[in-house]
């Protein structure tokens, strides 16, 4: 059996020290690759480690050091492609810095996002990445606890907090300008919400309006459609739009999911993309490139966002910024032209 003591009491440094005839401190030095241990001693210790199947007790180490090497990632739902993409990138990059990522699902409700912040569960993290959608400015007071927090995407805060976000207005403007350049004159926007003036939804709607205005096209309230940020939401919004007899030759959806749902909804009514209606999304999730037709969309700069998030978070964990010094990073976006607007 390759795992001695399996099933018995866990092997401690004490056990290893005894077996190797050294002190626990020497074992600790070897295990942590600290310098200043004679090669021969190291050998003896490592032999004992291997023979006994020793592994550090990370709870003890955490208690002693006051750090866990864990960071939390609070997202609404991990199976939404955008958040899966995010989680994947973050897990990979965090690992490079010796951190692991615990996923919290907030379910996209304000209550649950707050819960993630106050909950004792969160206390075990060295830092928290909060991909917030519903958290309001008022609540960001809560971001001032002891826990280093970086808010990622989807919203700009007036309150001071480390924040990594994307160019929602500019990206949306580019997307809609692209539709117009392709000849669209009746462009609908999907995903309009009324929850507040500073969130991603309003910003993307604003970018939409700016692009229309810049092109000298009129704003038509009938073209500004609310929709849940889901495939089904996009599909149904398009159904309603068409059922009301609104003329449309272009669709800008607030998210790729919505856009793909819109393509579906158009197909349901016998409309072809891009022949009858052109469609643009936002996010550049992996699917966008491979959908039929492939989806033109805005890449908000995922890599840059995740990198910046980690940089800010690790900096704060290391105490490199004061409690009242906050940074905000806006990633560079890019319009990715594909078949849905060909």
Residues that bind a copy of itself (CB under 8 A): 1-3, 5-7, 10, 53, 55-60, 62-63, 66, 68, 70, 77-81, 84-85, 87-88, 91-92, 95, 100-105, 120-121, 123-124, 141-142, 144-146, 231-232, 235, 260-261, 263-264, 267, 286-287, 289-293, 323
Among the listed residues 152, 71, 29, the one whose alpha carbon sits nearest the alpha carbon of residue 318: 71
79 binds, among a copy of itself, DNA, none (CB under 5 to 8 A by kind): a copy of itself
CB nearer to a copy of itself: pick between 199 and 256: 256
Q: Is the peptide bond before 274 cis (omega within 30 degrees of 0)?
A: yes
183 binds, among a copy of itself, DNA, none (CB under 5 to 8 A by kind): none
Task: Report the nearest approach of DNA to the CB of residue 106 (Å).
Answer: 25
Enclosing H/E stretch for 299: strand 297-299
CB nearer to a copy of itself: pick between 6 and 39: 6
Task: Report the nearest approach of a copy of itself to the CB of residue 260 (Å).
Answer: 7
Three-state SS at 279: strand
Phi, psi of 6 (to 5 degrees): -55, 130
User: Which residues contact DNA (rule: CB under 7 A)?
Assistant: 9-10, 12-14, 21-26, 28-29, 31-32, 36-38, 40-41, 56-57, 60-61, 63-66
Three-state SS at 199: strand
- Please return the burial class of 127, using the count of CB atoms within 10 Å of its CB with bins 0-12, 13-18 and 19+: buried
Task: Report the nearest approach of DNA to the CB of residue 111 (Å).
Answer: 25
264 binds, among a copy of itself, DNA, none (CB under 5 to 8 A by kind): a copy of itself
91 binds, among a copy of itself, DNA, none (CB under 5 to 8 A by kind): a copy of itself
105 beta partners: 75
Distance between CA 187 and CA 211 in Å, rounded?
A: 10
CB nearer to a copy of itself: pick between 178 and 264: 264
Alpha-carbon Rg for the chain in angstroms: 26
Residues belonging to the chain = 342
Token look-up 């909060």 returns: 130
CB nearer to a copy of itself: pick between 28 and 206: 28
CB nearer to a copy of itself: pick between 104 and 154: 104
CB nearer to DNA: pick between 24 and 215: 24
Tokens of 54: 């020793």
CB nearer to a copy of itself: pick between 323 and 332: 323
Tokens of 225: 């459609």
The beta strands (E) that lie in the chain are given as 70-75, 100-105, 127-130, 149-152, 162-166, 187-190, 224-225, 250-253, 278-280, 297-299, 328-331, 334-336
Among the listed residues 99, 125, 8, the one whose alpha carbon sits nearest the alpha carbon of residue 306: 99
Task: Report the nearest approach of DNA to the CB of residue 24 (Å).
Answer: 4
């Amino acid at each position: 059996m390759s795992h001695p003591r399996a099933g018995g009491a866990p092997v401690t440094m004490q056990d290893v020290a005894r077996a190797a005839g050294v002190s626990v401190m020497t074992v600790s030095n070897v295990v942590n690759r600290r310098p200043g241990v004679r090669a021969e001693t190291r050998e003896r210790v490592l032999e004992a480690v291997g023979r006994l199947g020793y592994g550090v007790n990370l709870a003890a180490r955490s208690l002693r050091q006051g750090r866990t090497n864990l960071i939390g990632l609070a997202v609404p739902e991990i199976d939404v492609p955008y958040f899966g993409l995010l989680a994947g990138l973050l897990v990979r990059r965090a690992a490079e810095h010796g951190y692991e990522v615990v996923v919290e699902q907030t379910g996209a409700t304000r209550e649950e996002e707050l819960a993630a912040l106050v909950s004792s569960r969160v206390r075990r993290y060295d830092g928290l990445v909060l991909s917030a959608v519903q958290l309001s400015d008022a609540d960001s007071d809560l971001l001032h606890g002891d826990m280093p927090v970086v808010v990622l995407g989807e919203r700009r805060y007036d309150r001071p907090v480390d924040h990594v976000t994307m160019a929602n207005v500019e990206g949306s403007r580019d997307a809609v300008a692209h539709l117009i350049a392709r000849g669209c004159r009746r462009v609908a926007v999907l995903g309009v919400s009324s929850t507040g003036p500073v969130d991603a939804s309003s910003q993307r709607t604003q970018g939409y309006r700016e692009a229309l205005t810049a092109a000298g096209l009129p704003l038509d309230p009938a073209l500004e459609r609310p929709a849940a940020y889901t495939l089904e939401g996009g599909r149904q919004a398009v159904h309603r739009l068409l059922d009301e007899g609104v003329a449309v030759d272009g669709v800008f959806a607030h998210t790729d999911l919505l856009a793909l749902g819109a393509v579906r909804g158009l197909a349901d009514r016998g409309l072809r993309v891009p022949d009858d209606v052109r469609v643009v999304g936002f996010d550049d999730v992996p699917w966008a490139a491979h959908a039929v037709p492939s989806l033109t969309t805005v890449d908000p700069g995922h890599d840059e966002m995740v990198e910046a998030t980690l940089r800010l978070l690790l900096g704060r964990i290391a105490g490199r910024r004061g409690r009242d010094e906050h940074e905000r990073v806006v990633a560079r976006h890019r319009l990715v032209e594909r078949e849905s607007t060909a």
